Amino acid sequence: MEISIKTNNKQEFVDITNKVSELIKIENGICIVYCPHTTAGLTINEGADPNVKQDMLNALYELTPKLNYKHMEGNSPAHIKSSLIGNSLNIIIENGELKLGTWQSIYFCEFDGPRARKIYLKFSN
């Protein structure tokens, strides 16, 4: 299965929790969420306070200072952030629902937008 995402900013976290939940067709098992992009990633974190997303983006910015990067496209910090965040998640499905904590949301992490992106999903019993 696939989710299409259109990002609007150079860097942003897009909450995809509801999009993933809507595609669940099994009662119990695992949901694998995979990002096939080298300048984006996936994470689970707090969804209640929007300041958390901005704090994370600010921290990742500080972790990737302006250096003499060799990559010709000029988006080396996006590649580094993608590797730091990761590109896949495994989430338990129980009683037809994602087994997330009270405050948890699933985020697509854009580091080189705006772009049209895809996320792949696999559900397994």
pLDDT in tens, 87-125: 999 999 999 999 999 999 999 999 999 999 999 999 999
Structural domains of the chain, ranges and CATH numbers in brackets: 2-124 (2.60.120.460)
Q: Give the Cα separation of 102 and 53 in Å (integer).
A: 17
> Which pLDDT score is estimated for 74?
78
pLDDT in tens, 20-75: 999 999 999 999 999 999 999 999 999 999 999 999 999 999 998 777 777 878 78
| Pairing mode, strands 29-34 and 116-124 | antiparallel
> Which pLDDT score is estimated for 20?
98
Q: What's the burial of 108, exposed, middle or buried (CB within 10 Å: 0-12/13-18/19+)?
A: buried
Backbone phi, then psi, for 96, in 5-degree steps? 75, 10
User: For residues 23-53, b (16+ Cβ closer than 10 Å) or e, as one string?
Assistant: ebeeeebebebebebebbbbbbebbeeeebb
